[in-house]
A and B are shown apart, each in its own frame.
Chain A
Amino acid sequence: MRLKVVSVLSAVALMAACSSTPDQESTATGGGTQTTAQQTEVESQTQPMGPAAGTVEDFMVNVGDRVFFAFDSSALDARAQSLLQAQAAWLRSYPSVTITVEGHCDERGTREYNLALGDRRASAVKDYLVALGVAPGRVATVSFGKERPVALGHNDAAWSQNRRAVSTLAGVGS
């Protein structure tokens, strides 16, 4: 009886190790259950070069984690809306995943106003996702104002990259 359990476990471990060859990340992910490991295995066979479905990398590469805003605006343009529709669809497929939407601003505003504006941007994204059927309890928001630029530089190109809302995932492997 005991022996049998051990053999099943080792089989799973082997499969997981296999699947990690094309995608080094998934070993760390697998940790969870047998199902996860097997799912990963299937995915990596059909799509050997791409990230495993349901992972952070899948979300980043195949959906996109961020939308951008015009100066001093929290309006979602057509491009942002289309990306958020893909985010909502992805989130509906992986109902255990929760996200935090970070709202950010460029450096061309005052600090406290930008904290409020970042909150407005994050909330605009949350409201849109919720309207598309994502449960509000799965979406947290946080504003970083102008404190966390991604693009260094003091020009329009950098500022437009920094005026963003970024969806970061929790409850999922990397």
Chain B
Amino acid sequence: MSNKPRLSVALRALSLALLMAVLSVAAPARAELRIDITRGKVEPLPLAVTDFIGDTAEARRQGAEIARVIASNLERSGLFSPIDQKAFINPRPSMETLPNFANWRVLNAQALVQGRVMAMEDGRLRVEFRLWDVFAQQQMEGLAYFTVPDNWRRVAHIVSDAIYKRVTGESGYFDTRIVYIAQTGPDNKRVKRLAIMDQDGANHRFLTDGGTLVLTPRFSPTLQEITYLAYYNDIPRVYVFNIDTGRQEVLGDFPNMTFAPRFSPDGKQVIMSMAEGGNSDIYVMNLGTRAVRRLTRHTAIDTAPSFSPDGRSITFESDRGGSQQIYVMDASGANPRRVSFGNGRYATPVWSPRGDLIAFTKISKGRFYIGVMRPDGSGERLLSEGYLVESPTWAPNGRVLMFYREEPVGDRGTRSRILSIDLTGHNEREIVTPVDASDPAWSPLIP
């Protein structure tokens, strides 16, 4: 809680100060360097990321760090294979002249990333980079950013997104954050805390002290708020945590347990479940007027609601047909229809930010799976499986998912961690956290 305000200050400072300039670009290339990420497993593209040059020792240090963050982001995407810097013939190429492409061709680098960090007289940092197609000998991208020096890491993420976008044609997801539940202690006395970190695990901090059980955090579209379930005084209710102020506020005045909250795509509503006498139904609250509307009225368990990105539909899970299955209804609550018909139970539906898919958890024959299907239930694909995998969350570009995996450790213990996986089902990676982790929620791109 202590350094909460810093994040928002940093965010605001950046949105004001992050000016961008397009560097002069050479004539458009002919056969463009391009990765098609919609296809199955792709061979990672070999690329060279050189340390950004600088005019001072401090600038050079930041330049090396920026290159390290970019290379690490691109490597984790599974689409790029950064070449070991030790092999570089000219490790810090000048920005004033064309690169010596032959030096990079011999390393089989398809792309070259170079850059420069300059301390401005007004105290800001100017970070520029160029992305070269080595074999076509063409500049693919050239941009410069101005920011406060503390934000060098964010600039590295923004540069990574620019490279990703230029090469894949899809927007990136590196300039994002993850909110999740950090867990410590034995299974029967688990301490759970809200925690937040950058997508790559950096800038980690705890938002709550563990005195109260907290679960299922989710970002607002503006990233300024998190909605989650908390058990203050053993009374489970949906709360909103304001990252700006650190304030935690119970959402609404409900007589019974509220849970499974999620923001609407415009951030103006929160959709959630309320339990009443053993029956859970779905409600939506307008955050401006505080008006509450009940959307389902059924004796079954209706929970885990998630809006479509256009706000017109809601997917949720219900056991009204006898077992947990996924349904889709209009945002008004009208016209509910079951969409999952495979073998087993289906849960935790989450609509992709692209609108084309719903991610889910499936339980079949004692195993858990993370999968995706079209909103009409067709085209089911399972991406990962385990003793317990749950809680899928989408990268803002709808091409990568995170989820958590719980595994038994010995007879009595459990290990819980967050993983990411490509929509293709390839490139499963652990997101390294200081302690056990679950319930990840991926933010939109930072505004």
Chain A residues with a Cβ under 8 A of chain B: 72, 74, 107-113, 115-117, 119-124, 127, 142-143, 147-154
Contacts and interface: CB of A to CB of B under 8 A. Distances in A.
Contacts of B28: none
B420 interface: no
Interface in B206-243: 213, 215-216, 229, 234-236
A152 B390 contact: no
Contacts of B186: 152
Interface in B322-359: 323-324, 347-348
Interface of B: 186-188, 190, 192, 213, 215-216, 229, 234-236, 257, 259-260, 273, 275, 277-280, 301, 303-304, 317, 319, 323-324, 347-348, 361, 363, 366, 387-388, 390-391, 406, 408, 411-414, 439
B412 A153 contact: yes
Nearest to A122: B278
Contacts of B260: 112, 115
A160 B259 CA distance: 25
B439 A116 contact: no
A116 B275 CA distance: 7
A143 B236 contact: yes
A154 B319 CA distance: 25
Given A120-B301, A150-B188, A154-B387, A112 B278 contact: no
Contacts of A119: 257, 275, 278, 280
B278 A124 contact: yes
B348 A110 contact: yes
Q: Which of A108, A143, A154 has the most CB of B within 10 A?
A: A154
A151 B411 CA distance: 11
Contact of B278 (A72, A111, A120, A142): A120
B234 A149 contact: no
Contact of B190 (A108, A113, A147, A150): A147
B273 A116 contact: yes
B275 A143 contact: yes
A110 B414 CA distance: 16
A142 B215 contact: no
Nearest to A121: B278
Closest 4 CB pairs of A and B: A123-B278, A152-B412, A116-B280, A119-B275
A124 B277 CA distance: 8
Contacts of B301: 113, 116-117, 120
Contacts of A122: 278
Contacts of B259: 112, 115-116
Given A110-B347, A147-B215, A153 B411 contact: yes
A121 B278 CA distance: 7
Contact of B390 (A72, A110, A115, A151): A110
B390 A113 contact: no
A110 B361 contact: yes
Given A116-B280, A143-B257, A153-B411, A111 B391 contact: yes
8 contacts: A107-B406, A112-B273, A113-B347, A116-B303, A120-B279, A123-B278, A124-B278, A147-B213
A124 B347 CA distance: 23
Contacts of A124: 278
Q: Which of B235, B236, B408 has the most CB of A within 10 A?
A: B236
B439 A111 contact: yes
Q: Which of B190, B257, B413 has the most CB of A within 10 A?
A: B257
A142 B216 contact: no
Contacts of A150: 188
A116 B280 CA distance: 6
A116 to B, nearest CB: 4
A149 B280 contact: no
Contacts of A148: 188
A121 B280 CA distance: 12
Contacts of B187: 149, 152
A111 B215 contact: yes
A157 B215 CA distance: 26
A98 to B, nearest CB: 14
B236 A74 contact: no
Nearest to A124: B278
A33 B21 CA distance: 80
Nearest to B281: A116
Nearest to A150: B188
A142 B304 CA distance: 19
